[in-house]
Amino acid sequence: MTEKVGVLGKKPQRRTGVERVVNAPLPTVYGKFQAVGYLDHDRGDEQVALVHGDIGTDEVLVRLHSECLTGDAFGSQHCECGDQLASALRAVVAEGAGVVVYLRGHEGRGIGLLGKLRAMALQAEGLDTVEANLALGFPVDARDYGVAAGILQDLGVRSVRLMSNNPRKREALVRHGVQVAEQVPLLIPPCENNITYLRTKRERLDHHLPHLDAVAHLS
């Protein structure tokens, strides 16, 4: 079977970047959003931005939320992801406008669901989250935020107030052309099951988690 070529005998160029595909109303328990669906032509992932209100262009309240099936859907206490997602959705509604970009393909800091579960099994044996990734031959953090910047730029956002404790998200957005006017803490009270994980994020991944100092009693 011959491959189709253009009128000049050249193969059609493969599309790159993000393409807006659909915009649909999405009422949620937090409030009303527009679910704006995108296709990431570089990785093949389907992405979605939840937009609330008239967001404007500057100092938009934004959360870049990495997909976490165990936390977002199952309520895992191994991490704080589900609570962070809920808090971010509530925050943009309380603000009156904002965006939560839900980043698929970011499971387990980019190593995939099965990779994350394997890492969690090693953590149950005593390794921390960084050591577990490395023991499995994975990067400590394989996430890329170029698609998030592309989505924000498509939405007309030039600068953000970024809900995140992770300095690397701020650096990545700036590197991709989106200014960060402010980094807004998104601090979730820890529990016995995630305190070690959170301390590792602070000590080895430079996350800003000052509230952990008040919970020294947790093991």
Residues serving a catalytic function are: 141, 143
The structure tokens listed for 132 are 């577990």
Contact in structure between 74 and 83 (CB atoms under 8 Å): no
Within 8 A by CB and 6+ apart from 214, the residues are: none
CB 62 within 8 A of CB 40: no
Q: Which among 174, 182, 181, 183 has a CA at the least distance from the CA of 153? A: 174
Angstrom distance (rounded) from CA 185 to CA 197: 18
Place of tokens 């820890």: 190
Distance CA 109, CA 189 (A): 21
125: its two tokens: 């044996």
Angstrom distance (rounded) from CA 33 to CA 177: 25
Q: What is the distance between the alpha carbons of residues 70 and 113, in angstroms, rounded to a whole number?
A: 9
